[in-house]
Structure 1
Amino acid sequence: MHADDPFTHPSRSHTVDVSTLSPAARAVVEEARPTREASLPATLCHTVGAECSSTATGARSLEALVGSLTALEGYVRIRRKSLSASRPGLAEKRTTRLLASDYLFARAHGAVAAAAMGSGPELVCQRRLTSTSSALVASFVSSTHSDGDAPAVGTSEAILAELGCAFGALAADVPERTHDSLESFGRSLGRASNPRVATGTADSVDCALETLRANTSLEDEAVAALESVARAVESGAFETC
């Protein structure tokens, strides 16, 4: 890890300020937003940003991008629960949940601006966040129109994990070919992270690692760090949406 690593300094984590929320909405936000260590997208962003760069990636920029990812993940969790109309007592809490999810969504975008990566990279990150948000909404709409249930298992996890790798790659300023391979790697790990996905998780993770090695020019240390994340996925170390 590089010096000044934000993951080793929890006190400097990019937290979501909930002081302006009502107690009810604050409770929803705090329950939905995962810790950095429990979030696969945040872990991928940090690992790629810290290990795949030829120079030290700014700790504050990575910290802010991680905050954006955990806020977006919290938003997805709340939205998924809101789609499950059969949950007892959910109707009474719907307004609070919607307000809390909107708050987290706004914080996700605000955190990217706080990353202070420069106008060019920041614009790319914002566009990437917007396209990811559109993909998440499309997955919700598609599922509710088809069977009324929550989105297909693993879909949200794959979309979010892909964004985690994309943010890390942008922070590390990796070559385009490596960038694309990292996003594909994140997508595969996202699907594999959900325990309800069909069997074959170990095979899919191994395949993702092999593809990553074959299509990138990453240093052995960086590949080893990403493999550690992949093995953590196999052991169920991360929370899912």
Structure 2
Amino acid sequence: MSQRTSALAPPTAPYRPAGDLVVMAHEPDVPDWVARACRRSGRQVRIEPAPGAAEDRLLTVAALAGRSVLVIGPDDGHRPPTGRVVAAIRDVPSDAAVLAEAAVAAAVLDADVVPVHAVPLSFGERSVGLTDALARGHEILDAAVEQLTAETPGLGVVPRLLRVHPHELVGEGLDADLLVLGGPRHRIPARVGLVGCSAVQHAPCPVLLAPRPA
């Protein structure tokens, strides 16, 4: 677990959520916090019926590459709040949209943002490169904290550096009100990566996939 700050500077041009927020849901009504988050960021909500099969949901998400897509499961409104919005980040500033979306959601959910970076367990305790990987992880989290606190003063931020494979941190054991991570990039054919697939299929909370640079 990391509680450090400093190191890399945040992006000079802050990311602002823009465009419609696409909500994939089994119900026609969106949660109140989604409507409040969109009002806060000046966006409209676009409802996209969620396909029943997981494979079809992933294909729909892939087809929406470059947009912010919120995937809400049928049971996501029945869990008690945790007060945490988890932002899974690979790098900064390429995940600036992930942090910005997490900050907007946390503000309306009255929650802390937990930026999380994973260093895979394939790095053993004596592996060559482990020290550099951990140091880089701390730098990424430091930059995430700087961006979040600079753009949203007063926001609670609790960074965490975990020794897991990235796709493992977004599974059924996740304890959060919302998971935010980078969505699929524009490419042909468009596809959802391993971490996104794991999140959409197994996360026990709503998943917001933020746009990433092409």
What TM-score comes out, normalization by structure 2 length? Answer: 0.32
Indicate the structure (1 or 2) with the bigger Cα radius of gyration. 1
TM-score by length of 1: 0.29
Decide which structure has greater strand share.
Answer: 2
Larger helix share, 1 or 2: 1
- RCO higher in 1 or 2 (8 Å CA, sep ≥ 6)? 2
